[in-house]
Chain A
Amino acid sequence: MSEVRISVELVRRMLTGFIRNEVTKTGHERVVVGLSGGIDSSLSAYLGAEALGPAQVLGLIMPYRTSSSQSLEDARRVVAVLGIRSRVIDITPMIDAYFAAFPEADPVRRGNKMARERMTILYDFSMVEKALVLGTSNKTELLLGYGTLHGDMASAINPLGDLYKTQVRQLAEAMGIPETILRKPPTADLWQGQSDEGELGFTYAEVDRLLYYMVDRRYNEEQLQDLGFEPDFVTRVTKLVQGSQYKRRLPVIAKISNRTIDRDFRYARDWGR
């Protein structure tokens, strides 16, 4: 796995600088982050607290009635260790009220709805707090499309989006994130016993190494096989990456005029910032 390793001191500096810079130049002082008790959101909170100071970070813990008590406990530990502000907001009433009308809804549909419910709460608090929503999606999830569009994928600034899951783990370890969070298997926590790696059918260690060679190093299929990757695995991951491209883009705009937003009307997001 040595290929995927990063210089943690350097990355830590780049990411805290990024948060400080993006937050302050848009006239903000604070960030709000959803805490699941998992490694990604914990790391975002750690980076936010180091960049801006703990008082400027609001962690929102938003459990549903089936969320594991371990998740809640781990999220609370992050809050306590960092000394950031936090709120617990139970999303059960909103979710259950909605699905009362659709009792047949499957777990994926319910999971997406929960992710989007949490997103609306984060954005509501971002307005109250005059804060930016700090993202928690890592590069592995983003490339595989393993997240809910307009749900957990939504944020104003995302410090983790160019770090593979194993790199997130490496940085989290270096920043002293509690052992229990580092050790537990990654999960969307939508039902008992769910795990990312179980659902995806491969480990993050395997897929990160593949994605690194496929995306970062631009190896083609044949060259990937020479590295020892199974052809089926390569095909499957390639399909996941292609199939989720729409999740990484803004909605498609039908072109009519001579100057269409994002096509021939091009400005940096930091336009005048």
Chain B
Amino acid sequence: MKAKIGLAQINPTLGDLQRNLEIHRDFIDRGHRSSVDLLIFPELSLTGYFLKDMVPQVALRLDSPVVRELEEMSRGISLVIGLVEESEEALFYNAALYLEDGAIRHCHRKVYLPTYGLFDEQRYLARGRTVRTFKSRFGQMAILICEDLWHVSTVYLAAQQGADLLLIPAASPGRGAERGGKLEIAETWEAMNRTYATLFTMGVCFTNRVGYEDGVNFWGGSEIISPAGERLLKGNDFEENLLVGVFDLDEVRRSRISNTVRRDEDLDLTFRELQRIYRKHFPEGDGDE
């Protein structure tokens, strides 16, 4: 089975939900016209990135009319959309929804909120607590958002739950122009995407946004990597674009025949060692030992 995957390398307007919804409608229309099966938008695609005190103003509850409209738009084309999700207890999450056949199939709340250098997410957002996979019409999937990927453990957890495809919405700021023809950060991401795809024998779909916010550029360079580590699609740096590539789902099976890392992974070993390490970090008993 083959899936036509679209990467919506868009430039959202900071804090302007209505305008960003327009951009989503436009790209979804274009996706339909290109017979795209699955269209992946970047991190916080409905809101823009450096929201700061705007977070509560642009937050959406999953039962809100906007989300209902997005659900409706997922008929005939599966969607990954980034938003600020407001929980029932009024906590705000950097989240991504997987929408299919008119319903939300999965909501991933970003677990690692970068708060260093130019990032300040923990100041404004609540932290997700789970990494889960979910079933889609294209097989078992996981969504991880941008900084989540800088922690191997999240990808490991997704792989151990059987992920065939890893979807990565990102808002990665461009930086580091000292190393020759490519941004340092772009090189790092390309290495991570390829490594994860190969080490966990799964397809990797990475959608990074473009545009500028307060002088910070987002570099784009969205890509799809096969489970064999082969690049199937690559977007231009810096330019808004709908990228469309074909992903052969049978490639997952073939890759696992030639590369047996998934079969050979010893979850029991990892678990035992982690438990031992955990006990060492957090010894039992009360008071001084």
Chain A interface (Cβ < 8 Å from any Cβ of B): 3-7, 9-11, 13-14, 17-18, 21-22, 25, 157, 265-273
Contacts and interface: CB of A to CB of B under 8 A. Distances in A.
A124 to B, nearest CB: 25
Contact of A7 (B50, B178, B211): B178
A265 B52 CA distance: 9
Interface of B: 13-16, 50-54, 174, 177-183, 211-215, 217, 237-238
A14 B52 contact: no
Contacts of B13: 25, 272-273
Contacts of A25: 13
B18 to A, nearest CB: 11
B238 to A, nearest CB: 6
Contacts of B53: 265-267
Contacts of B181: 7, 9-10
Given A14-B217, A271-B14, A271-B15, A21 B177 contact: no
Nearest to B181: A7
A211 B179 CA distance: 18
B213 A7 contact: no
8 contacts: A10-B177, A18-B215, A22-B215, A265-B53, A268-B51, A270-B214, A271-B14, A272-B15
Contacts of B183: 10
Given A14-B238, A265-B53, A270 B213 contact: yes
A180 to B, nearest CB: 27
A18 B16 contact: no
Nearest to A20: B212
Contacts, number: 63
A10 B215 CA distance: 15
Contacts of B215: 18, 22, 157
Nearest to A3: B178
A25 B217 CA distance: 14
Q: What are the 5 tightest A-B residue pairs by CB atom distance, in nearest-first order?
A: A21-B212, A266-B52, A268-B50, A6-B177, A268-B214
Given A268-B15, A270-B50, 10 more contacts: A4-B178, A7-B181, A9-B181, A17-B212, A17-B217, A18-B215, A266-B52, A269-B214, A272-B14, A273-B13
A147 B249 CA distance: 60
Contact of A18 (B15, B54, B177, B217): B217
A14 B15 contact: no
A268 to B, nearest CB: 5
A267 B177 contact: no
A18 B180 CA distance: 20
A266 B124 CA distance: 11
A258 B272 CA distance: 50
B14 A270 contact: yes
Pick the most buried of A4, A7, A13, A25: most chain B CB atoms within 10 A of its CB: A7
A63 B212 CA distance: 35
A11 B214 contact: no
A171 to B, nearest CB: 10
Nearest to B123: A266
A57 B23 CA distance: 30
A4 B212 CA distance: 24
A79 to B, nearest CB: 27
A273 B20 CA distance: 12
A272 B16 contact: yes
Contact of B238 (A4, A17, A157, A271): A17
Nearest to A6: B177
Contacts of B51: 268
Pick the most buried of B174, B214, B238: most chain A CB atoms within 10 A of its CB: B214
B186 to A, nearest CB: 9
B14 A273 contact: yes
A76 B201 CA distance: 61
A3 B178 CA distance: 8
Contacts of A17: 212, 217, 238
B212 A18 contact: yes
Contacts of A14: 174, 177, 217, 238
B52 A7 contact: no
Contacts of A10: 177, 181-183
Pick the most buried of B54, B174, B212, B217: most chain A CB atoms within 10 A of its CB: B212
Contacts of B15: 268, 271-272
Given A17-B212, A17-B217, A21-B211, A268 B14 contact: yes
Contacts of A269: 214
B97 to A, nearest CB: 24
Pick the most buried of B50, B181, B215: most chain A CB atoms within 10 A of its CB: B215
A6 B14 contact: no
